[in-house]
Structure 1
Amino acid sequence: MKFVELSIPGCYEIVPTIFRDLRGSFVKTFHQGLFEAQGLATEFAEEFYSLSYRNVVRGLHFQVPPKDLTKVVYALVGEAMDVLVDLRKGSPMFGRYAVCELDAAKANMVYIPSGVAHGFYARSEQVLMVYKVSAVYSPEHDSGIRWDSLDIPWPCNEPIISDRDRNLVPFESFESPFSFCAGGVDGR
């Protein structure tokens, strides 16, 4: 696996080795020792997936403390424009975003520490996104900011959005409970 730090501190694109032969392909999506060597979280509590159709935007989501979480996200099928927004006060990238193109054919993933909002745009007819998270989903701590409250270059001006996401607070109205921890991925 290759770990490439993105412009937001603590966020990484992870590019695994793909083993291909006449039967198909084989991809390792997690290796505890390699994650530990990068200083990344290795304890995950839940894993789930979402299926989205072209022009869907999901996000920008996160959980607030004390149920905040780290995520590893990848497209098992299709292609997605993955977006991360730094919500950690004191971060050199606070209020800024990073974009990572996720592609099932490339098998790349994105590592998202606590304090970073996550969302994506479905580029392909269908995109099946897998999420590995460090804390169990907590409805009381589930939160987000509006997808269109920053200058993110979404490929579609009128994407398909859930009512929940449409009614999230804009970034400028969000009171962040997250603080940047230089040299760490804790987020609090």
Structure 2
Amino acid sequence: MIIQQTKLVDCYEIIPDSFHDERGRLIKTFHQDTFAAHHLQTRFVEQYYSTSRKRVLRGLHFQLPPHQHVKLVTCIFGQVVDAVVDLRAGSPTFGQFALFDLHAEKGNMIYVPAGMAHGFYVVSESAVVVNNASTVYSAEHDCGIRWDSVGIPWEDKNPVVSQKDSTLVPFPLFLSPFVYQK
């Protein structure tokens, strides 16, 4: 398993071990000792997945304190462009975003630290994205910023977006409760 620092502080792309033979493939998506050695969260208390069709954009989502969470995200079917935005005041990468090509065949994952927004756009005919979270979902702490308010160069200027996501606050108007800690 390879854990690579991305351009966003504390956000990592993880390239898992993958084993192929005549039966198919096996991908190791989590290894506690490896995560711990890199000072990454090893306790995930909730897992969920979404199924989406081509041109769907979900995000940019996060949970507010005290229910903020670390997320481990992977695409297990299809392909998505995954986006992460640093919302932590005082972070050297505050307000910046990073894009990742998550592809089921590759098996790569994104480690999204607390205080960052997350979303994705489906480029394949359909996709299944799995999220592991370090806190249980709290509807009253569910939040987000508009998908088109951070300068992300989405390939589709008119994606399929939920009513909820289309009415999220734009990033310039968002008052972040997240504070960067070294």
Any stretches of 5+ residues in structure 1 without a counterpart?
183-188
Residues 1-45 of structure 1 show CA distances to partners (whole Å, capped at 9, x for unaligned) of 000111111100000111000000011100100000000001111
Q: Does 1:118 align with 2:118?
A: yes
Structure-2 residue corresponding to 1:97: 97
1:132-171 residue pairs with structure 2 within 5 A? Answer: 132-171=132-171
Q: What is the CA-CA distance between 1:49 and the residue it aligns to?
A: 0.2
Structure-2 residue corresponding to 1:82: 82
Partners in 2 of 1:32 and 1:17 — Cα distance? 14
- List structure 1 segments (4+ residues) > 4 angstroms apart after TM superposition: none
Structure-1 residue corresponding to 2:44: 44
Letter of the aligned partner of 1:14 in structure 2? I
SS state of the match for residue 139, structure 2? coil
Q: What is the CA-CA distance between 1:157 and the residue it aligns to?
A: 0.7
Partners in 1 of 2:13 and 2:97 — Cα distance? 14
> TM-score, normalized by length of structure 2?
0.99
Q: What is the CA-CA distance between 1:127 and the residue it aligns to?
A: 0.7
The number of residues matched between the two structures is 182
Residues 141-184 of structure 1 show CA distances to partners (whole Å, capped at 9, x for unaligned) of 000000000110101010000000000000011010001112xx
Q: What is the CA-CA distance between 1:61 and the residue it aligns to?
A: 0.2
Letter of the aligned partner of 1:104 in structure 2? A
Q: What is the CA-CA distance between 1:112 and the residue it aligns to?
A: 0.2
> TM-score, normalized by length of structure 1?
0.96
Partners in 2 of 1:12 and 1:126 — Cα distance? 25
Q: Percent identity?
A: 49
SS state of the match for residue 140, structure 2? coil
Partners in 2 of 1:117 and 1:150 — Cα distance? 11
SS state of the match for residue 49, structure 2? strand
Letter of the aligned partner of 1:2 in structure 2? I
Any stretches of 5+ residues in structure 2 without a counterpart?
none
